Amino acid sequence: MRLGLVIDLDVCVGCHACAIACKEWNASGTIGPLSDYQPYGAEPSGVWFNRIRHYEMDEYPNNKTVNFPMSCMHCEDADCVTVCPTGASYKRAEDGIVLIDQDKCMGCNYCSWACPYGARELDRSSGTMKKCTLCVDRIYDQELPVEERQPSCVLTCPAHARMFGDFDDPDSAVSRTVRERGGYPLMPELNYNPTNQYLPPRRKPVIPVETQPKGGLKESIKQFANKLVRR
């Protein structure tokens, strides 16, 4: 299996629901807690696995705003794993999820240097690197209802801009969607082979218009004729 996410940039409204749902689940999840620094102070900040950035394409008035959620891409060729000196970072053979063993990490930050996507954040309190687990503590939890065995970001996304599935299965919904919508990986030139894929904004629909050019407006007023229409 190769589990990962599809992010639909065509419908992501940038509401940060996925980011908070992620924070909420993982704060008390297997990798939690996720420290928040200066929670009531001048410059609040903290450990997050999923951040939403906002970009603008092109110039006014042809500009388009694109909301852009990013989390761990669970790369096939994950340099974050190969560079890790302690073996804390690893990629699971069975499903491709990249995880960090909190009991092994020495907090050297080196894996975060190797990650082009900014997926890894150091928790200063535990001294360990943390990152998206693809909610590994949800997706295999047999006691959760089947339809809830999904990453919490996917469960919550109000615009259904996130999908979760197995990219090894060509018939899975994620594989099909990526094929149909021209899904693409980020920064492919680095050859990390990220599992997560992004769906580009759709082209805008073309709607034909019919015009009935009339004479002068006074004419058209005269031309409006009553029809026999019964209520």
Partner 1 sequence: MNAKIKLENHDAQEIKYTTCYMCACRCGIKVTLEDNKVRFIQGNRNHPTNQGVLCAKGSAGIMKQYSTAKLTQPLMRKPGTERGEGIYEAISWDQALDILTDRLEEIRSTDPSKLGFFTGRDQMQALTGLWAQQFGTPNWSAHGGFCSVNMAAAGLYSIGFSFWEFGAPDWDYAKYFLMWGVAEDHSSNPIKIGLEKLKRKGGKFVTVNPVRTGYSAIADEWLPIKPGMDGLLAMSMVHVLLKHEKFDYEFLVRYTNASWLVVQSPGQKGDGLFLRDENDHPLIWDIDKEAFRNGMDGDIAPALFGEYVAPDGRRVKTVMSLMVERYLDDRYAPENVALECGLPAESIERIALEMAHVAFKETVELPIEWTDVWGRKHDKVVGRPVAMYAMRGIAAHSNGFHSCRAIHMIQMLLGALDAPGNFRARAPYPKPIPPHQLPENNIDIINAPNTPLSRPPLGFPTRPEDLVIDEFGNPLRIDKAYSWEVPIASHGLMHMVITNATNHDPYALDTLILFMANMAWNSTMNTSNIQDMLRAKDPEEPGQYKIPFLVVIDAFHSEMTNFADLILPDTTYLERHDCISLLDRPISEPDAAADAIRYPLVKLDRDVRPWQEVMVELASRLKFPAFTKPDGARKFKDYPDFIVNYERSPGVGFLAGWRGKDGTKSLKGEPNPNQWEKYIENQSFFAHHWPDNQKYMRYANKDYLEVAADVGFVGKVEPIIMQFYSEPLQKFRLAGQGLYDGPQPNNQVDRERLVKYFDPLPMWYEPLEQQRVDKEEYPFFALTQRPMFMYHSWDSQNVWLRQIMAQNYMYMNARKAAEMGIKDFDWIWVESHNGKIRCQVKTMEGTQEDTIWTWNAIGKQKGAWGLNANASEATKGFLLNHLISELLPEKAGERRVTNSDPVTGQAAWFDLRVKIWKAAPGETGSWPQFDELKPLPGDERYERPDVLRYDARSHEKN
Partner 2 sequence: MHPAFSVIFFTVASGAGFGLFSLLFIADTFKLGGGFTPVQIVIGGIVALGLIAFGLLSSTFHLANPKNAWRAFSRFRTSWLSREGVFAVVFMPLALIYLASIWFEAPLWLRETFGLLSAVLAWITVFSTGMIYACLKTIRQWNTPLVPANYLALGYASGSLLLLLGAVIAGLDTTPYIAMSALIVSIAAVLKAIYYFWIRSPGLTPTINTATGLTRAKVKLLDTGHTHGTFLTQEFGFQIARQKAGLLKVVVFGLGFALPGLMLVWVFNAQGGQAAAVVAACAGIAGAAVERWLFFAEARHVVNLYHGAQRC
The residue ranges that bind partner 2 (CB under 8 A) are 16, 19, 43-45, 47-48, 51-59, 62, 65-66, 68, 70, 79, 81-88, 103-110, 112-118, 121-122, 124, 126-128, 184-192, 198, 200
Give the residue with the Cβ less far from partner 2, 53 or 176.
Answer: 53
Which of 44, 188 has the CB closer to partner 1? 44
List the single partner that 221 binds among partner 2, partner 1, none, CB under 5 to 8 Å by kind.
partner 1
Kindly tell me which of 94 and 171 has the beta carbon lying closer to partner 1. 94
When the beta carbons of 25 and 48 are compared against partner 2, the nearer one is: 48
**3-class secondary structure for the chain?**
CCEEEEEECCCCCCCCHHHHHHHHHHHCCCCCCCCEECCCCCCCEECCCCEEEEEEECCCCCCEEEEEEECCCCCCCCHHHHHCCCCCEEECCCCCCEEECCCCCCCCCHHHHHCCCCCCEEECCCCEEECCCCCHHHHCCCCCCHHHCCCHHHHHCCCCCEEEEECCCCCCHHHHHHHHHCCECCCHHHCCCCCCEEECCCCCCCCCCCCCCCCCHHHHHHHCCCCCCCC
Select from 59, 171, 180, 189 the one that contacts partner 1 (CB under 8 A): 59
Find the shortest distance in angstroms from Cβ 101 to partner 2: 10
Residue 188 binds which entry of partner 1, partner 2, none, with Cβ cut-offs from 5 to 8 Å by kind? partner 2
Would you count residue 40 as binding partner 1 (CB under 8 A)? Answer: yes
Q: If binding is defined by CB under 8 A, does position 86 make contact with partner 1?
A: no
Instruction: Name the residue nearer to partner 2 (CB basis): 91 or 149.
Output: 91
Q: Which of residues 108-137 bind partner 1 (CB under 8 A)?
A: 124-125, 136-137
